[in-house]
Structures are given as C-alpha cells and as structure tokens.
C-alpha cells in the first residue's frame, strides 16, 4: 500500500490558538501517546518569544523529551534566524519557516516583509548546513490559497515565493491553507504550478484547514497530484491567531481513518490514536474537541491490512 505521512501539529498549531497553557507533563504524555500510536512526525512547538506565545514557552524542554523517541521526526516552527538558532541548539530535526503569500499577513504574523523573511531563510539555510547533525529545513508558503486580510492570493505569487525560498536554500517548500479558503480544484492547480516551477520532489506536503468543511476534500485533491505528507491536529485543535476567522485544523483522527479506509498506509494504529484524545479531554475540559470518527466510532469489522 502507498505510504502517507501524517504530521501531527497539535502541540504547536493547536496550542498556540487556545488560551489555556498546558503543563509540560501533559505535553510529554501527549507526545508519548502519539508515538505509541505510530505517529512518525510531530511538530512539538515553536521557538517564539514567550511573551507572544506563552503556550509554547517550554518548547526547548518539549523537544528534549521528544528526542528520546527513536525514529520520531521532531519538528518545530521558527519565525526567524534567532528562533532557528534556538531550535538547532535544542536538536530539532526539522525546522519550518512560514512565509505568508499575503504580505499583510506576514507583517501581522511575523512583523516581517517578504524580503526580510527571505533574508532569514538564507541565514537559516546557512545555519542548518553548518549544524553538527542532519537538519531538514522547510519553507512554508502560508495563506497560499487566500487571505482573510488581503483576499485573493494569486497562483503566480505562490510560485514566485516558492522559487524564492528554494533560491534561499530551503530543502523543500510546503503550502499552507492558513485561512481555510482552499477548494479541491484550487489545490490541484496551485500544487501543479509549484511542482512545475521547483520540481515534485521539493513540494510533498500540505497544511490544510477545515474551516469551511473542505479539509478532507482538499486532502483527496492533494493525493491526486502527488502530495504524500499532510499536517493535521488531534481533535482539530488550532488555527491562526493572526488570521481572523481562520479556525479548524484537519482532525488527525478523521484524516487517518479516511486514508486507512482507502488502503493508504499511515503506519498509525487508529484505535490507539483515538485513545490519545482522552489526554486532551482531561487537560482541556473547556475546549471543544472535534472529529466525526471519534464520535461515531470505527465501522463494524474495520480492519487495516498491512502488507
């Protein structure tokens, strides 16, 4: 069966969008349970100033714990070169730098222009190449399918920024539907355009939101054009605090169910993944937890045939 990587982003994207601050012990228990369920990549936090995102102030400690799991790719988001230095000092395997296609969103999110973010990308690429261990550096084009602040984002702009990121030295480019504006036809068109510009091997992942109910439909569109990595958040936690109305990461449980039901191998034990939700339910009693599969349960006789 074809293998698909489900990258869990809840400990970063999910927690940055809610007010409660989870204790380190809960975060580490969450990560341990995800790994036990077969999750192979987790974005565990972000190296941003604690005053901006106090929910992620302990990211270095979370990285240190996650690194104890052999075979787990420990990913983090970095807003600039200083954040990348901290991520490398902590030993993170994968660094993602967001570059918003909408410059208005970039200024709101990072307080940086396109030119400034690209300068940071070049500096981070140099840092990664000189690191004492292998590091994967991704440049993520955020608001790639539309922006709540600027509206329409052109395909040409996304391609232009993807090319600029590759020129700055990133290993790959990701596309993010930060605002939940994307539709399946648009996903196919934009991915094909970026593939044509930078090569299919340099765009393998999508970060999609379910804000308008099209998250899984957009995953199917991505699969059709060769995407093999999809970000998702347990219980659908998350959004973007700097993009008004942009809520709703894809629910990891629903994504894994769909992929496995289609015969695509995620390597994730779905019943064990559903149990992980209990950790969040106990730690965040006042936060809504989303997902159809957890509510309905697995179909009678549902089984995954590993080959």
Q: Which residues are catalytic?
A: 240
Q: Which residues contact 167 (CB under 8 A, 6 or more apart)?
A: none
d(CA 233, CA 135): 23
Please report the sign of the dihedral spanned by the C-alpha atoms of residue 210, residue 212, residue 213, residue 214.
negative
How far is C-alpha 83 from the chain's CA centre? Answer: 17
- What contacts 263, CB < 8 A, 6 or more positions away? 1, 305
The angle, 0 to 180 degrees and rounded to 10, between the axes of the packed helices 270-283 and 252-261 is 170
Q: What totals of helices (H) and strands (E) does the chain contain, helices first?
A: 12, 8
Give the distance, in angstroms, between the CA of residue 275 and the centroid of all CA atoms in the same chain. 21
How far is the C-alpha of 165 from the C-alpha of 231, rounded, in Å? 20
Token pair for 273: 């993944």
Beta bridge partners of 209: 249
Helix H or strand E segment including 42:
strand 41-46
List Cα–Cα distances, 197 to 14, 125, 163, 171, 284, in angstroms.
32, 20, 7, 15, 43
Q: Which helix (H) or strand (E) holds 240?
A: none
């Amino acid at each position: 069966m074809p293998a698909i990587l489900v990258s869990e982003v809840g400990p970063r994207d999910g927690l940055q969008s809610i007010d409660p601050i989870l204790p380190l012990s809960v975060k580490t228990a969450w990560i341990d349970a995800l790994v036990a369920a077969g999750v192979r990549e987790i974005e565990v936090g972000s190296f941003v100033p604690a005053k901006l995102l106090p929910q992620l102030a302990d990211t270095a400690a979370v990285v240190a714990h996650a690194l104890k799991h052999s075979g787990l790719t420990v990913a983090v988001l970095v807003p600039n070169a200083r954040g990348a230095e901290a991520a490398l000092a902590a030993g993170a395997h994968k660094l993602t730098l967001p570059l918003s296609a909408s410059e208005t969103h970039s200024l709101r999110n990072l307080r940086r222009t396109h030119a400034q973010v690209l300068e940071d990308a070049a500096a981070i690429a140099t840092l990664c190449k000189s690191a004492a261990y292998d590091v994967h550096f991704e440049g993520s084009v955020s608001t790639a399918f539309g922006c709540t602040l600027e509206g329409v984002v052109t395909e040409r702009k996304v391609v232009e920024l993807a090319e600029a990121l590759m020129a700055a030295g990133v290993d790959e480019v990701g596309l993010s539907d930060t605002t939940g504006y994307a539709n399946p036809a648009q996903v196919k068109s934009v991915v094909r355009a970026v593939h044509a510009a930078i090569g299919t091997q340099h765009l393998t992942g999508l970060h999609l939101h379910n804000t308008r109910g099209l998250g899984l439909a957009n995953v199917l569109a991505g699969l059709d054009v060769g995407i093999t990595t999809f970000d998702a958040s347990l219980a659908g936690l998350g959004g973007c605090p700097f993009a008004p109305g942009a809520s709703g990461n894809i629910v990891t449980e629903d994504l894994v169910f769909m992929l496995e039901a289609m015969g695509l191998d995620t390597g994730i034990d779905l019943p064990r993944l559903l149990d992980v939700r209990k950790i969040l339910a106990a730690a965040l009693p006042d936060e809504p937890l989303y997902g159809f599969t957890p509510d309905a349960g697995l179909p009678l006789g549902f089984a995954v045939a590993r080959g």
